Amino acid sequence: MLNIKLGDVVDRFVQVVPAAGSRADQYVQTIAQSIQQQQLPVHLTREDASAGFMRGLRGKTREFLVAVPENPGLKDFSILHFGVPAGSNLAVGWYLTETGRGQKNLMSAIHPVTGAAASLSDRFRNLDLFDMADLNAILSSMHEFAVMETVYAIAKQVGFARERIDGRSVGFFGIG
């Protein structure tokens, strides 16, 4: 089981589609199919995740479609896709997370002298230009050609206007 902390999230996208809550499985399956059809260089799995160790022990988990880049330079990054009912609505989206470093990740997120949180550019300091380009290409491809196309299709099924959908992510990459 994955343990995701808010501090691990580098970028994210969330959209709510009204009256589409029953289409959660359709959304996630379509995302997986699109990623596979695009032949993106990632490993796909479905995994349960919690928002903390103790929450996981109490059974508070959520299932994600997890995409991990095959590039060894990007081994600490995962893209977690979700589609969950929110009442009669459907909340969909993804989180780009940087995990897997344990204490090293925690310590590298804090400046050793000032004790201030590291900026996002500091978090990417260990990536070279090509790794950054690869991560951006994977994330952009997933977002534009899997996520957004699926969101638009489901919105059309329920009569929700495409123009009301905001396709931009809100983190470091600003995809959309």
- pLDDT at position 113 is 45
- pLDDT at position 60 is 81
Q: Which of 6-10, 79-83, 145-149, 151-155 has the lowest mean pLDDT?
A: 6-10
Mean pLDDT of the chain: 85
Please, which pLDDT band fits residue 14 given cuts at 50, 70 and 90? Answer: very high
Kindly state the tokens that stand for 69: 């880049």
- pLDDT at position 127 is 83
- Other C-beta atoms closer than 10 Å to the C-beta of 113 total 6
- pLDDT at position 120 is 52
pLDDT surpasses 80 at 56: no
- pLDDT at position 53 is 62
Task: Identify which of 143, 32, 144, 160 has the alpha carbon closest to the alpha carbon of residue 90.
Answer: 160
pTM of the model: 0.84
- pLDDT at position 132 is 92
pLDDT surpasses 90 at 12: yes
Cα–Cα distances in Å, from 7 out to 1, 23, 39, 163? 18, 30, 30, 32
Backbone angles phi, psi at 48, to 5 degrees: -80, 145
- pLDDT at position 168 is 84
Give the bridge partners for 86, in sequence order.
89
The pLDDT tens digits of the residues spanning 66-98 come to: 999 999 999 999 999 999 999 999 999 999 999
